[in-house]
Amino acid sequence: MTVSPAGPRFLMRRLRELMAGSQSADARLDAITSLIASNMVAEVCSIYVAKPGERLELFATEGLNKSAVHNTVLRVGEGLVGLIAEEAQPLAISDAESHPRFAYRPETGEEAYHSFLGVPVLRAGHTLGVLVVQNVRPRVYSDEEVEALETIAMVIAEMIATGELGDFAAVRETDPRHIHAYSTRGVILSEGIALGHAVLHEPRVEVERIIAEDMDIETARLDRALDGLRQSIDRMLAAPEVARGGEHRDVLEAYRMFAQDRGWARSLAEAVAKGLTAEAAVQRVQSEARARMLRQTDPYLRERLHDLDDLARRLLRHLAGRGETVSTDELVDNAILVARNMGPAELLDYDHTKVRGLIIEETSPTSHVTIVARALGLPAVTGPRGVCDLVDQGDAVIVDGEVGDIHVRPTADIEAAYREKVQFRARRQARYARLRDIASVTLDGVPIQLSINAGLLVDLPHLDDSGAAGIGLFRTELQFMLASRFPRLGEQERHYRAVLEAAGDRPVVFRSLDIGSDKVVPYLRRSKEDNPALGVRALRFALDRPGLLRLQLRALIRAAAGGHLRLMFPLVAEIGEFVEARDHVDRELATLRARGVATPREISLGVMIEVPALLWQLDRLLPKVDFAAVGSNDLLQYMFASDRGHPRLANRYDPLSVPVLRALAGIVEAAGSAGVPVSLCGEMAGRPLEALALLAIGFRNISMAPASVGPVKSMVLATHLGQAGEEVRALMDAGAASIRDGLAEFARRHDIPV
């Protein structure tokens, strides 16, 4: 049977007529299934609705035993219906019982039916149910029939979501958390503390018409809206705050690439050609994309979902004639934006003078919207799934970007405590600002070099703000992660030169490309790894792709022409890896000099000590390097065989444990014997108590997040390093597993702020 566009349109009109009736929900469902069965020339039509607990309950049927309604329940993934819900993909087969996932339910009486066609009932990429038709005789369902049933499922999804079908679908009891104070802990995206009132980021345009009356008109509307969308993004890129460059411009450039993607536009046009309105086509294409991408484990693909969601919402606003931006006319002062997901361009739409913070459910610390939030200086936290459902417009909200806490409708005492905390933080920051130009020297005259970790151009003003001595770690991979394609030589060179110029005469230590593990670059093919943290990443990846490494080296050398280039290589496990990387530098230098290209007056090459195996090679490695830097995050992860991103392991092992400190002290001693400068960059360095221990065992150069420089310098200025060294050595010999408590007591006795 071939289904023409008139078939679905007729069916849609009949469905709407049924919904407008006064029948009970069950009666209307029975009528719906009967109507679909007759229209699709099927002996059976059934509707399964998703219920809490990953269950699918039979809610209505035409053709199966009526007694099975509300009694037949399948788990998501169980049977053919469960398979459709799990994969969010249609399934059409001529002999259902022959399928390996077939699950027989005797109460339904479906053993007489052989042919099976089922489609997911999708909305915003989430499966609300499954719509099924069955036939007695084996048959092959056509693509037109699958398309027709998907279109019907789309209408049913809207009915379920908007409550048109009554209260049969997963009745929600009032959640007491909607009434009382609610607190939860998420993941920090951008540091800071914000108090304000919730503004729900819900720019959704409700699709009222699904079936097109005139496909030519709908095609023209879609084309105009796409043109308007692309022009609006061009205007955004031309705005003064974006045009001057930086990471948020790179983000929007990648965003523009998605808007101009021909495959996306073609999918939309095909959906209109099959009889949908332009709005319904946008909703359908995006719902299918969400369903696919939500089931992906690749973090890059999941991150692209937010960009595509943003584009779809913008396109719907253009189709609805609402303009290119979210309306902010009634945006309150001290607004806390609350979003399930958000594209970077959507965040830039808001009035930055009124927004104080951001809660976003579906994102990550390396996402594009996170980078924009940092560029705008907005405290931001990503909450656990469902947190957005517990916030109402105008609710008082606190975003704590220091520890990751979210407080909704906080009690008076919590709000008072946070107001005091904000005031204290402001006073403390003012005190740290006064220390900015004071030399970082201990009470007994030992100079300490405090540097910052950076990776974005937006980080560079922190050099002056914090009074840091330089950049101890510049993560070059972030430029690659944000770009939509591999950065060309000129782009890399300009990026590195901007960093060096911003630093002036302060040292900058570049880290060569460190991708792999959780750092995904979209345009570089990579194979699936069972344990990516131990896989082809960092220097291993670069040495496997010498052309990529040489291009980056060339850009760094050209950018540092006439100056001092400091470059270190990450995740070195054997001496030979460093030697091979150094040889690439030598060859690139020779090539450029032969071409008459200006080169740095001095080049220092270093090694990052992150792999424990390197601890037993230091006597042979250190004479070959100009400097060394301990990457404490990875080194501790590998020492304890503990995933540092695992929530249950995050606080299981103490960085101030005696084994860790003995290993670090051994590195300092070996570097001293070889006459090689050594530093430490990582989270350890940014916490005053841990930093005190590092200085006590011999480190004189540590690098940290910019916000940590003030607190650590305050500790340095109050410390007598000779006394601290004696105390730490005694604590390490005392037999305790960790020196944390003993060192904290020492700091208390000597009035050292930690």
Q: Which of 249, 702, 683 is nearest to 498 (CA)?
A: 249
| Beta-bridge partner residues of 631 | 681
Structure token digits, residue 145: 């029939």
Catalytic (active site) residue 368: yes
Q: Which of 565, 564, 468 is nearest to 511 (CA)?
A: 565
Neighbours of 641 (CB within 10 A): 9
Contacts of 122 (CB under 8 A, 6+ apart): 88, 128, 153, 154, 157, 287, 288, 290, 291
Q: CA 346 to CA 252: how far, in whole Å?
A: 11
Q: CA 694 to CA 688: how far, in whole Å?
A: 10
Q: Which one of 201, 306, 462, 681 is the catalytic residue? A: 681
Catalytic (active site) residue 646: no
Neighbours of 650 (CB within 10 A): 11
Q: CA 24 to CA 26: how far, in whole Å?
A: 5
Contact 398, 419 (CB under 8 A): no
Please give the full DSSP string across 544-591, using - where no structure is assigned: HSHHHHHHHHHHHHHHTTTSEEEEEESS--SHHHHHHHHHHHHHHHHH
Q: What is the CA radius of gyration of the chain?
A: 30
Q: CA 650 to CA 224: how far, in whole Å?
A: 51
For 356-383, give one letter per residue: b (16+ CB within 10 A) or e.
bbbbbbbbbebbbbbbbbbbbebbbbbb
Length of the chain: 754
Write phi, then psi, for 508 (nearest 5 degrees).
Answer: -125, 125
Can you say whether the dihedral through the CA atoms of 244, 250, 251, 255 is positive or negative? positive
| Residue indicated by tokens 């740095």 | 600
Contact 541, 576 (CB under 8 A): no
Q: How far is CA 383 from CA 346, 347, 380, 518, in A?
A: 19, 17, 10, 20
Contact 563, 500 (CB under 8 A): yes
Contact 57, 70 (CB under 8 A): yes
Q: Which one of 318, 368, 407, 495 is the catalytic residue? A: 368
Residues annotated as catalytic are 368, 681
